[in-house]
Amino acid sequence: MKTVYLDAASDESIEAAAHIIRSGGLVGMPTETVYGLAANALDGKAVRKIFEAKGRPQDNPLIVHISKLEQILKLVAHFPEPAKKLAEAYWPGPLTMVLEKSELIPDEVSTGLPTVGIRFPSHPVAQALITAAGVPIAAPSANRSGFPSTTTAEHVMRDMDGKIDAVLDGGACGVGVESTIVTLASNPPRLLRPGGITLDQLQLVLGRVDVDPAVLNPLPKGARPLSPGMKYKHYSPKADVIILDGGEKAYADYVNTHAKPGVAALCYDGEDRLLNVPAVCYGAESDQAAQARELFEALRHLDDIGAKTVYARCPAPRGVGLAVYNRLMRAAGFEVCSLE
Ligand code: TXA
Ligand code: MG
């Protein structure tokens, strides 16, 4: 299959992409978090193609994207008061709510779960595509399963060229890590994946919100997490990533004493000057939004420069940093070395 490149700036491109969705095909779609691999959420056959293109395990459910709030009413069994309040506060935006699903959701989307994740993205191109397609859109991140998520159309092409019908180029993603996922099917509500909407922001609206243990810890062998995606190794570059937990000086000393061919660093802006190995920066220490925006691109760049072992500076697990920490922990297979 030839993957068509479409520039999202033109209306014809949006219409062409919408036509592909309506015809049961796959489109790489920009959102404010990461690029998504979009298909008609109500067409089980189209959704199955997503799993093939990504090499995605069959038991990992998909998020359904809407472009008008009222679309949710047909997709879920109930739209409870707390969910309404969250929608009012943070939609459209980088937040996915897990709710009891309606009959309309095909099994291919929910992979046997009684629930469905719904998201109303804020990206104007995503909204335009969903509206033009006239159907809700199922979309996982548009990367090969297990690899870092894609934040540019070029990255989507690198992973998906020849496997999907088209990619709609809407520029680089602003948030850079996937949406926050909260389940309202548990009581109290539970954070399943941290993202651009922070735990504090959820608690402001919902009161008590528990944090699923899988957010910060490796799963015990054989455990069944509430969010099936949590059990897979994720976001991994080809290199071995090791997180070094310590201040700037301890980090630089450790990296420099372990310098050898194949070793590279993933550090904060400006710290590359202190290091004797090839280094890729991912935002300033004080700017967690920049760290989120730059992380996946940085992980891909480390592969491009042929890194075999990557020593990563440890993100602070607060605010948006919790999402950065969660992704980097998974990229590292939870391998953390404390320098204190
Ligand atoms: O920002 C995002 O959420 C991006 C963009 C494209 O919208 N999408 C995304 O999808 O990250 P994906 O498939 O890469 O990650 C979705 C995660 C998976 O870990 C999956 O297991 C979990 O959400 N998930 C989906 N439906 C669920 C459900 N009903 N209950 C619990 N977890 C669910
Ligand atoms: Mg993903």
Nearest C-alpha neighbor of 274 from the set 298, 300, 248 = 248
Whether the predicted pLDDT of 26 surpasses 70: yes
Question: Where in the sequence of the chain do the CATH 3.40.50.11030 domains occur?
Answer: 240-338
111/270 Cα distance (integer angstroms): 45
For residue range 220-267, list pLDDT tens digits in order: 877 878 888 877 667 778 899 999 999 999 999 999 999 999 999 999
Q: Is 208 left (phi over 0), alpha (psi -120 to 50) or beta?
A: beta
pLDDT of residue 194: 98
Whether the link from the prior residue into 92 is cis, omega within 30° of 0, is yes
Ligand 1 nearest-atom number relative to CA 149: 14
65/170 Cα distance (integer angstroms): 17
CB of 298 closer than 6 angstroms to any ligand 1 atom: no
The mean pLDDT value of the chain amounts to 96
CB of 180 closer than 6 angstroms to any ligand 1 atom: no
For residue range 177-236, list pLDDT tens digits in order: 999 999 999 999 999 999 999 999 999 999 999 999 999 988 887 787 888 887 766 777
Give the CATH number of domain 4-215; options: 3.90.870.10, 1.20.120.80, 3.40.50.300, 3.40.50.150: 3.90.870.10
* The domain made up of 240-338 is a member of CATH 3.40.1410.10: no
Q: Nearest bound ligand to CA 159?
A: 2
CB of 151 closer than 6 angstroms to any ligand 1 atom: no
178/182 Cα distance (integer angstroms): 13
CA distances from 244 to 120, 183, 224, 251, 334 (A): 36, 32, 29, 7, 11
264/79 Cα distance (integer angstroms): 48
CA nearest ligand 1 atom 32, residue: 227
Measure 190 CA to ligand 1 centroid, in angstroms. Answer: 15
CA nearest ligand 1 atom 13, residue: 140
Share of the chain above pLDDT 70, in %: 99
